[in-house]
Amino acid sequence: MSHLPLRWREALEYGYVQFFRLKMRGSGPGDPSTVGRYGVLVYVSYYSDSAFYEFFPRRLLIRKRADLDYTQLLHAVDTVTNQPWMRFDWPAYAFGSEPAEWAQTSAITDLLIDNLGHELGEIADPPPLDAAGRRVPRTFDSPRSHALANVILEQHMLLDSLALQAKAKQPLTLQEAVSGSAPWADYLRNAALEPD
């Protein structure tokens, strides 16, 4: 986050932050939804400024989404419906591939937005302005940066790892040993960072 513009960093450090995830509706009745674990949609409100950001931790990328409206998005969350304005790069969210520009993506009819259930409140007493009239956040070591990373990584991206971790502690079956399949190793390989 240290490479972001100062206004973005201030908003993330001191403002109200809400997290959303994208899900692909199951193919039939009773089919579970597929959650896009490699991307998080974050709403930030700080004083009169508010904006959405897409966080792609595997790509070390954070980008602003000026096209999204908070009221429309909450309507989509509350009604659990797809909206015609919902243009997201599903492969980037689902598989961690390189995100395309949002303008180049088309609306996906089976895409849903879900509230992640985590919020970070606005800081009641932000630090005073410095001599240059700025309020520069301590991005590298602030508790807020750690809280953001915790929600994005532990509460979203790595959530599927808990079941695999428990399975990895169990002895291999003969079939698993013969197949050479290692779901935990595959998961870790897929979660590895791929900077540009």
What percent helix, strand, coil does the chain show, rounded to 5?
35, 20, 45
Q: What's the pLDDT at 45? A: 95
CB-CB contact of 151 with 19 (8 Å): yes
**pLDDT greater at residue 135 or residue 52:** 52
Distance CA 15, CA 87 (A): 26
Number of domains making up the chain: 2
Residues 98 and 185 reside in one and the same domain: no
Claim to verify: residue 80 and residue 173 sit in the same structural domain: no
For residue 1, tell me if it sits in a domain. Answer: no
> Coil, helix or strand for 189?
helix
CA–CA distance, 123 with 50 (Å, rounded to integer): 15
DSSP 95: H
Indicate the SS3 state at residue 68. Answer: coil
pTM: 0.78
Q: 36: which residues sit within 8 A by CB, 6+ positions away?
A: 21, 22, 23, 24, 90, 92, 93, 94
Q: Which residue type, as a one-letter code, is found at position 46?
A: Y
Task: Residue 167: give the domain boundaries.
Answer: 163-196
- Measured CA to CA in angstroms, residue 6 lies from 41, 105, 139, 150 at distances of 20, 29, 10, 22
Count CB-CB contacts under 10 A for residue 78. Answer: 9
| Phi (first) and psi of residue 113, to 5 degrees | -115, 135
And the tokens for 19? Answer: 């997290």
Q: What is the mean pLDDT of the chain?
A: 81
Q: Has residue 43 got a pLDDT over 90?
A: yes
Q: What is the pLDDT of residue 110?
A: 79
Residue 15's pLDDT band, with cuts at 50, 70 and 90, is very high
The sign of the dihedral angle between the CA atoms of 176, 155, 21, 96 is negative
Say yes or no to pLDDT of 195 above 60: no
Residue 19 scores a pLDDT above 90: yes
Report which of 149, 147, 124, 122 is spatially closest to residue 44, judged by C-alpha positions. 122
Residue 11 lies in a domain: yes
pLDDT band at 185 (very low <50, low <70, confident <90, very high): low
Query: Which of 18-22, 24-28, 89-93, 134-138 reaches the highest mean pLDDT?
Result: 18-22
Q: Is the pLDDT of residue 61 over 80?
A: yes
Is the same domain home to 167 and 141?
no
Residue 170 and residue 155 share a domain:
no
Based on the fold, state whether residues 142 and 196 are members of the same structural domain.
no
pLDDT tens for 67-115 read 889 998 898 888 877 777 778 888 888 888 888 876 566 767 678 888 9
Query: What was the pLDDT predicted at 159?
Result: 66
pLDDT band at residue 161 under the 50/70/90 scheme: low
Angle at 180 between CA 176 and CA 184, to 5 degrees: 75
Q: Tell me whether residue 90 is in a domain.
A: yes
pLDDT tens across 108-156, in order?
A: 767 888 898 889 999 888 888 888 888 878 878 888 888 998 888 877 7
Name beta bridge partners: 19: 42
